[in-house]
Amino acid sequence: MSSMKKLISALIIIVCCLGLLTGCEQDNVPKTNNPSSTTTDKDKQAIQAVDKKIILYRVPTDGSLTLLAERKTIKVKSNELEWVTLKALVETLPEDKKMQNVFPKGTKVLGLSIKDGIATVNFSKEFIKKTEGEYASLMMVNAVVNTMTEYPEIKKVQILANGEKIIVLGQIDLEEPLSRNESFIKKN
Amino acid sequence: MLNCQRERGERGLVKKIIILCILMLAIMGFGYASASTNQVTDFSWGVNKENTLRMVFDCNQLTGAKAELTSSLLKVTVNGKLNSDIRRRYSTNSSKINSISLSSQGDKTILFLPLKQSLKSSDYKLFVLKKNPGAKRPDRVVLDIFNGGNGATEQSNVENTPACINPTYLVTGGIQGKHITLDPGHGGSDPGTHGTVTGIKEKEITLPVSLKLKAMLEKKGAIVSMTRTTDVDVWGADATDAQELQARVDIAEKNKADLFISVHCNASVNPVSGGFSTYYNSKTPYDEQVAESIQNKLLKTASLDDLGVRFANFYVNKRCSMPGALVELLFLTNAREEKLLRSNWFQNKMAQAIADGIEDFYDKNGGGS
């Protein structure tokens, strides 16, 4: 009797584990079990913060289709550089009056993981709030992708909201990871 | 007695659970196998009317490929296992390459093209076409080698090559007879954006402009289809955004369109923002040209801001197999532009500009009379 129960529970556990494993391989949802490529607010590591220069691609206030580079020097731990950069882009306002933050009010960065050249960015649900017209969504998506691909280890960016894939935002196709879009950056 | 029954019942339960487990494992196994194995299911090649040598790998799912060019060889590696019944060697009369050979290396397929003359990176293009259920085409990896002028020898190749690929769209021969699908943005339950002064809806501008454009294109000899001709949702009122946009793509595919043009109006929180912008997704070699030709003509309608021609991942442009563009006609949130967008004469002017831009595109590509 009890051996049967053990057998049942063992089988159930095995199947569940296998299910989880295949699940891991098939989706790209950020996992927090890899500290070298994943950082969260709670990460407390004994790495010293150093001065780093970062570039945030901001949306211009004049309605033009060229992102403006905001250059800053911030104190950051090297393993949190991408995370802090993304947080700054989404959750802070630019200093220059020629630039604006067009992320829907309340949008937060919930997660970031980098694997095989793809940065998976997880925003809070506010991100998919309908914006007035195409301009804001288009510029916002390009700002995220171009800011993140400033880092050489990031080639493409997959954007998620609340941990889920967004197929369409306005008219934009977000199903697959997006590459850097140079056509929205001023050529010097 | 009672005990005995219970035991039998539990044995039955164990059996059921074991069977369930095996089934689940089997399903997971299959699911995993089909999701992970890329396959090249077919290979075909030919020379199209533009004298482009095109090679197509049909694949069971979207996959990647890379090209490596040396002075004597163009080598393309497709991430997919080569199906064993595909022929491995072909001869060709091309002025650029000696032969076409395929080989299988593990789960990758290698295409070897020994060169007759050295190629520049602009002489070829490697790209991926997504599956197109409407046209019954699978996901594909495509290599185009542009041959330029000398068409005579290549032309004979077309007739001799049964595996010749008919391009899914045509860009040569002028606008006459071209199938063009127009997509008036939004509609039905989706009003789009709205004017700040009068509250007019985006869908109330995109439809009349598109209908005017249809008449003008037909006058130039094009065959025009529309994703909608009235104020309706194309898929239906309860559609997801993706379903609604896919329904528009499907109409273009069903009509075997040579060109797909989506018409929208822009909006911004900044009332000063204004101007024309045109967007493309370079899934074919022609999208950028289409967008540029249209934008150039739009800028001649009046003294309005030029926001430029930009690459964008707009769903309809990305997922259509034929060249196309998405036009953002001015800003409904800009009082002056709202007035222009509402006026019949300016709607005519914009439609005429788009029609002229399209004609211009075809003229530039070995065009009309």
Contact A133 B274 (CB under 8 A): no
Residue B21, pLDDT score:
52
Domain extent at residue B202: 179-364
| Same domain as B282, residue B211 | yes
Rounded to a whole number, what is the distance in Å from the CA of B172 to chain A's nearest CA? 27
| Same domain as B252, residue B103 | no
Instruction: Show pLDDT as tens, one digit a residue, over chain B (369 residues).
Output: 444 455 455 566 666 666 665 555 555 544 444 456 889 999 988 877 677 888 999 988 888 888 888 888 888 988 888 888 888 888 877 788 888 888 888 888 989 898 888 888 778 888 888 777 767 788 888 888 887 644 333 333 333 333 333 357 999 999 999 999 999 999 999 999 999 999 999 999 999 999 999 999 999 999 999 999 999 999 988 889 999 999 999 999 999 999 999 999 999 888 999 999 999 999 899 999 999 999 999 999 999 999 999 999 999 999 999 999 999 999 999 999 999 999 999 999 999 999 999 999 999 987 544
Sign of torsion over alpha carbons B196, B200, B203, B208: negative
Nearest one of A105, A98, A90 to A61, comparing CA atoms: A98
B139 within domain boundaries? yes
What is the helix, strand, coil percentage profile of chain A, to 5? Answer: 30, 30, 40
Contact A11 B18 (CB under 8 A): yes
Distance CA B231, CA B245 (A): 15
Sign of torsion over alpha carbons B160, B165, B171, B175: positive
| Same domain as B225, residue B137 | no
B352 φ/ψ angles, rounded to the nearest 5 degrees: -60, -40
Rounded to a whole number, what is the distance in Å from the CA of B151 to chain A's nearest CA? 35
Contact A132 B326 (CB under 8 A): no
Nearest one of B123, B124, B163, B169 to B142, comparing CA atoms: B124
Contact B240 A168 (CB under 8 A): yes
The amino acid present at A144, given as its one-letter code, is V
Contact B307 A64 (CB under 8 A): yes
Three-state SS at A142: helix
DSSP A126: G
Residue A33 burial by CB count (10 A; 0-12/13-18/19+): exposed, middle or buried? exposed
Contact A181 B25 (CB under 8 A): no
| Same domain as B156, residue B227 | no
Contact B333 A133 (CB under 8 A): yes
More confident residue, B75 or A87: A87
Nearest one of A146, A121, A123, A170 to A67, comparing CA atoms: A146
Contact B17 A167 (CB under 8 A): no
* Paired tokens of A91: 């959750």
Nearest one of A185, A176, A90 to A140, comparing CA atoms: A90
Contact A65 B269 (CB under 8 A): no
Say if CB B242 and CB B231 are below 8 A apart: no
CB pairs under 8 A between A and B: 110
Residues in chain A with CB shorter than 8 Å from the CB of B9 are none
Residue B163, pLDDT score:
31
| Same domain as B146, residue B204 | no
What is the helix, strand, coil percentage profile of chain B, to 5? Answer: 35, 30, 35
Distance CA B285, CA B116 (A): 24
Among candidate residues B102, B129, B160, the one where a domain is terminated: B160
Three-state SS at B266: strand
Cα atoms in the Cβ-side hemisphere of radius 13 Å centred on B311: 15
Contact B267 A133 (CB under 8 A): yes
Task: List beta partners, residue B132.
Answer: B137
Distance CA B120, CA B295 (A): 30
| Same domain as B259, residue B331 | yes
Residue B165 burial by CB count (10 A; 0-12/13-18/19+): exposed, middle or buried? middle
- Asked if B306 has any chain A CB less than 8 Å from its own CB, the reply is no
User: What radius of gyration do chain A's Cα atoms show?
Assistant: 20
Confidence check: pLDDT of A113 > 90: yes
> Residue A172 is nearest to which of B32, B315, B328, comparing CB atoms?
B315
| Same domain as B139, residue B188 | no
Q: Among A58, A155, A157, A173, which would you mutate to test the B interface (most chain B Cβ atoms within 10 Å of its Cβ)?
A: A173
Distance CA B262, CA B182 (A): 6
B294 within domain boundaries? yes
Nearest one of B190, B211, B213, B214 to B202, comparing CA atoms: B190
DSSP B197: T
Report the CATH number at residue B112.
2.60.40.3500
- Asked if B30 has any chain A CB less than 8 Å from its own CB, the reply is no
Three-state SS at B221: coil
B65 within domain boundaries? yes
β-pairing verdict for B179-184 and B223-226? parallel
B169 within domain boundaries? no
One DSSP character per residue, B22-59 reads HHHHHHHHHHHHHHH--EEEEEEEEE-TT-EEEEEEEE
Name the domain count of chain B: 2
Contact B10 A1 (CB under 8 A): yes
Nearest one of A118, A178, A104 to B315, comparing CA atoms: A178
Residue B32, pLDDT score:
44
pTM for this predicted structure: 0.65
Contact B274 A167 (CB under 8 A): no
B138 within domain boundaries? yes
Name the strands in the sheet holding B89-91, side by side, starting at the edge strand that comes first in the sequence.
B65-69, B73-78, B108-114, B99-105, B89-91
B15 within domain boundaries? no
Rounded to a whole number, what is the distance in Å from the CA of B99 to chain A's nearest CA? 34
Among candidate residues B160, B194, B212, the one where a domain is terminated: B160
B49 φ/ψ angles, rounded to the nearest 5 degrees: -65, -25
- Asked if A133 has any chain B CB less than 8 Å from its own CB, the reply is yes
Among candidate residues B104, B128, B160, the one where a domain is terminated: B160
| Same domain as B216, residue B122 | no
- Asked if A62 has any chain B CB less than 8 Å from its own CB, the reply is yes
Contact A172 B275 (CB under 8 A): no
Residue B279 burial by CB count (10 A; 0-12/13-18/19+): exposed, middle or buried? buried
B19 within domain boundaries? no
| Same domain as B229, residue B85 | no
> Residue A133 is nearest to which of B268, B313, B316, comparing CB atoms?
B268
| Same domain as B222, residue B156 | no
Which own/partner contact pairs does A13-17 have at CB distance under 8 Å and 24+ positions apart?
A: A14/B21, A15/B21, A15/B24, A15/B25
Q: Among B268, B305, B320, B337, which would you mutate to test the A interface (most chain A Cβ atoms within 10 Å of its Cβ)?
A: B268
List the 327-346 stretch of B: residues with Cβ below 8 A of A: 328, 331-333
- End-to-end CA distance of chain A: give it in Å, rounded: 77
| Same domain as B208, residue B139 | no
Q: Among A98, A135, A166, which would you mutate to test the B interface (most chain B Cβ atoms within 10 Å of its Cβ)?
A: A135
Contact B193 A132 (CB under 8 A): yes
Contact A172 B31 (CB under 8 A): no
Q: Among A134, A140, A185, which would you mutate to test the B interface (most chain B Cβ atoms within 10 Å of its Cβ)?
A: A134
> Residue A65 is nearest to which of B10, B11, B310, comparing CB atoms?
B310
pLDDT tens per residue, range B103-128: 888 888 989 898 888 888 778 888 88
pLDDT tens per residue, range B248-260: 999 999 999 999 9
| Same domain as B327, residue B186 | yes
Report the CATH number at residue B186.
3.40.630.40
B291 within domain boundaries? yes
A170: left (phi over 0), alpha (psi -120 to 50) or beta: left
